[in-house]
Amino acid sequence: MMRIKTPTKKRIKRELDKRAPKLIETGKKTLILHGTKTSNVLNAVLAEIYHLKRDNAIKYTKKNDNVRPFESGGETSLEFFSLKTDCSLFVLGTHSKKRPNNLVLGRTYDHHLYDLVEVGVENFKSTESFSYDKKLAPHIGSKPLFAFIGEGFESVEELKHLKEVLLDLFRGEVVKNLNLAGIDRVYLCTAMSPTKVFFTQCAIRLKKSGTTVPRIELVEVGPSMDFVVRRHRLPDEGVKKQAMKTAPESTKKKEKNVKGDVIEGKVGKIYIPDQKVGSVPLPNRAKGVKRERREAKMNNEAHEPAEKKQKEDSD
C-alpha cells in the first residue's frame, strides 16, 4: 500500500522543482560560513566575497565548531547545509595559530564533498580602501572577465586546482547572449610563485579607439589579497567522471509558431504587440510652429495677406 505525497501548495512545488537536477545547469549558489574562530581580516574577506556574489550566495553568521572538511567525519555538517540551502559551492573561514586567516573553498556534487582547496589570506585590502571614480564601480551581478597570469597556473597542481575553483566560484551563470556595454569587471589572478597568487578585482573602462574594438583600461577597484596555497584535495576519480558528464546533445529544438501543410506549405504565426496609441511621443515641432505663428502674426499686422501668398509659393 503506497500513498502519493505531493505538496499542498503550488509555491512549494515550484521551489522543489527549482532544486531538482536539470539537464543544463544554471548558476551554482555559494554558502559562506565561519568555523570555530575567525579574525577581523577574515570577517572582512567573507563579507567582501558575499558582496561580490550578492544574488546567489548565502552567508551564515553563527560559528560552526564541528565543521572540519579535511577530516573524515567533519564534513557531515557541510553536506547538510548544502542540502538545506541548495548550495554547491562553499567558502569556510577559520583562524588558528597554525593556519592564520584560513579560507577553505570547496565544491559539492550531489550534496557530497567533491573537492577542496585551502588558502591563507595575506595583505588583504578591502573595497573601501581603494579610491576611484564611483561611476566606474562594477554593478552587482554583472558577468566578470577573468585574467590568469603566470605559468604556475599550468605547471603546479595546486594552482591548477585553485584556478578551476576560482573560475567556478566567481563565474556566475553561463549565458548565451551578452550585452557588450555591461562588461565592467575583471578578476585578475597572478601567480607570483608556486605557492602564492595575487588576486584582485578591477573595473573596466572602455575608451574610444579607432576601430570597433574599444581600448581597455583597468582601474583597481575591489578587494585585493594574496592567496597562499596550503592544502587541497582533488576529487575522487569515479565521482569526477560522473560529474564531468555532459547532457546528451540529441535534444532537437522545436520550432515554435511554425506549422506545415501540404496544401498551404510552411505557415508561420507572427504575434504583434499592442499598439500604444496615445502614449507615443509626437515629434516636437511646437517650437517651429510657434515661431511660424509668431512671425505670421507679426507679418499679418504689418503687411497684407499678399505676403502670406508669397510664403506659400516658396513652399
- Residues 189 to 248: which contact another protein by CB under 8 A? 190, 192, 198, 200, 202, 204, 206, 212-218, 220, 224, 235, 240, 242-247
Interface with another protein: number of residues (CB under 8 A): 77
End-to-end Cα separation, the chain, in angstroms = 91
CB of 96 to another protein, least distance (A): 26
Concatenate the DSSP letters of all residues of 32-52 into one string. EEE-S---HHHHHHHHHHHHH
Determine the residue type at 243. A
3-state DSSP of 253-313: CCCCCEEEECCCEEEECCCCCCCCCCCCCCCCCHHHHHHHHHHHHHHHHHCCHHHHHHHHH
Q: Does 7 bind another protein (CB under 8 A)?
A: yes
Sign, Cα dihedral of 144, 150, 154, 156:
negative
Nearer to another protein, 47 or 183 (CB): 183
Minimum distance from CB of 282 to another protein (Å)? 20
Binding of residue 25 to another protein (CB under 8 A): yes
* Single-letter amino acid, residue 28: K
Phi-psi group of 180: left, alpha or beta (phi > 0 → left; psi -120 to 50 → alpha; rest → beta):
alpha
Within residues 268-307, the interface with another protein by CB under 8 A covers none
- Nearer residue to another protein within complex by CB, 16 or 296: 16
The answer to whether 153 contacts another protein (rule: CB under 8 A) is: yes
Q: Least Å distance between CB 249 and another protein?
A: 11
When the beta carbons of 115 and 118 are compared against another protein, the nearer one is: 115
Residue choice 37, 63, 99, 171 for contact with another protein (CB under 8 A): 171
Q: Restricting to residues 93-152, which ones interact with another protein according to CB under 8 A?
A: 107-110, 114, 123, 143-151
Indicate which single residue of 40, 84, 140, 175 sits in contact with another protein (rule: CB under 8 A). Answer: 175
b/e per residue, 140-169, with b = 16+ CB within 10 A?
Answer: eeebbeeebebebbeebebbebbbebbeeb
Going from the C-alpha of 82 to that of each of 24, 32, 86, 91, 148, the distances in angstroms are: 20, 11, 5, 12, 29
Q: Please, what's the largest Cα pairwise distance for the chain? A: 104
Smallest gap, in angstroms, from Cβ of residue 190 to another protein?
Answer: 4
Q: Which is nearer to another protein, 94 or 108 (CB)?
A: 108
Binding of another protein at residue 181 (CB under 8 A)? yes
Q: Which of 52, 19, 45 is nearest to 185 (CA)?
A: 52
Nearer to another protein, 35 or 144 (CB): 144
Asked whether 63 and 42 are in contact (CB, 8 A), the reply is: no
Q: How far is the CB of 154 from another protein (least distance, A)?
A: 5
- Binder among 72, 179, 250, 257 for another protein (CB under 8 A): 179
Window 45 to 104, contacts with another protein (CB under 8 A)? 88
Q: Which is nearer to another protein, 68 or 107 (CB)?
A: 107
Among the listed residues 22, 84, 259, 293, the single contact to another protein using CB under 8 A:
22
Q: Smaller CB distance to another protein: residue 81 or 148?
A: 148
> Which of 58, 136, 137, 183 touches another protein by CB under 8 A?
183
Identity of the residue, 137 or 206, whose beta carbon is nearer to another protein in the bound complex = 206
Give the rounded distance of the alpha carbon of 38 from its chain centre. 27
